[in-house]
Amino acid sequence: MARRSYTEQERREVLADVPTLAVKAAASRHWVSPTTVQSWIDRGRSSKTVVSTMTPPRAPTRSGAAAAKHARRQYSEDEKREVMADALAPRKPLAISCST
């Protein structure tokens, strides 16, 4: 199958929709592969403004009770030893049966 080539106008039209629709929706709206659109964005070829107007995703922040609920648990040395002993304990091999 031959590679499709796009004009600068086509690229600009697709990339203009990316900030509002996202990559996949903009690509499908213009009948372009989403990987093609993403490569245009990554390379910054067609539109420097699209790349600069996109903001990176931010990690959700938690405060108060939600932060306390998701705090990392601190394990005691005894608990760590118990887990390691269990992990290193010899196990019986699994019995696998093959019926033909």
Question: What band does 31 get if pLDDT is binned at 50, 70 and 90?
Answer: very high
Cα separation, 63 vs 61, whole angstroms: 7
* 30-53 average pLDDT score: 75
Q: Give pLDDT tens digits for 46-99.
A: 445 555 555 666 666 667 666 666 677 788 899 888 888 888 888 777 777 777
Alpha-helical (H) ranges within the chain are: 8-21, 23-29, 34-43, 48-53, 65-69, 77-88
Domain positions in the chain are 8-53
Q: pTM (2 decimals)?
A: 0.43
- pLDDT on residue 72: 73
Answer yes or no: is pLDDT of 41 > 50: yes
